[in-house]
Amino acid sequence: MNFKFENFWLSIFVLCVVNTLLIQLIIRPNYEGEISSLEYVLGVAPNFLPAIGIPALFVLTFSLITKENCSSNYLIEKKHIVGNIFSVFGLIFWELIQNSFDLIFDWNDILWTLIGALLFHLIWFFFQKNLHKTEI
């Protein structure tokens, strides 16, 4: 079992969830400033952060599930791509159906979802080799 690998991805997920909830439930409702760039960041962060955190959860889940009972080498080796695809499609789908529920639809949210997915992929690329070195 590779605790370093699993703890890293769990930490990424938890940080993204906590920060998203903090922004949505505390910071945005109480922000009364007039800094447009900060308003923009607070507006797109709830799409950007889950685009990083949700694939991290998928990577962690796929790692735990596929250790013993998966015959698909693709899922084992490319879990970061599969998780990222599921996450991006889910987040974009949610953004698109917001029009149906009279919620706020914003193309910037889709853009920042894609940027978050790219950042997740870059995190995977830079850290995955070091995380697999230490196995317990």
DSSP string, the chain: --HHHHHHHHHHHHHHHHHHHHIIIIIHHH-----HHHHHHHHHHHHHHHHHHHHHHHHHHHHHHHHHH---HHHHHTHHHHHHHHHHHHHHHHHHHGGGGT----HHHHHHHHHHHHHHHHHHHHHHHHHTT---
In this predicted model, what pLDDT tens digit does every residue of 41-95 receive, in sequence order? 999 999 999 999 999 999 888 877 766 665 666 666 788 898 999 999 999 999 8
Q: What is the mean pLDDT of residues 95-107?
A: 82
pTM for this prediction: 0.85
In this predicted model, what pLDDT tens digit does every residue of 6-44 receive, in sequence order? 889 999 999 999 999 999 999 999 998 889 999 999 999
pLDDT above 60: residue 133: no
Q: What angle do CA 63, 117, 9 make, to 5 degrees?
A: 35
Q: What angle do CA 48, 49, 52 make, to 5 degrees?
A: 95
Between 2 and 83, the more confident residue is 83
Task: Label residues 78-117 b or e (16+ Cβ within 10 Å = b).
Answer: ebbbbbbeebbeebbeebeeeeeeeeeeeeebbebbbebb
Q: How far apart are CA 78 and CA 16, in angstroms?
A: 22
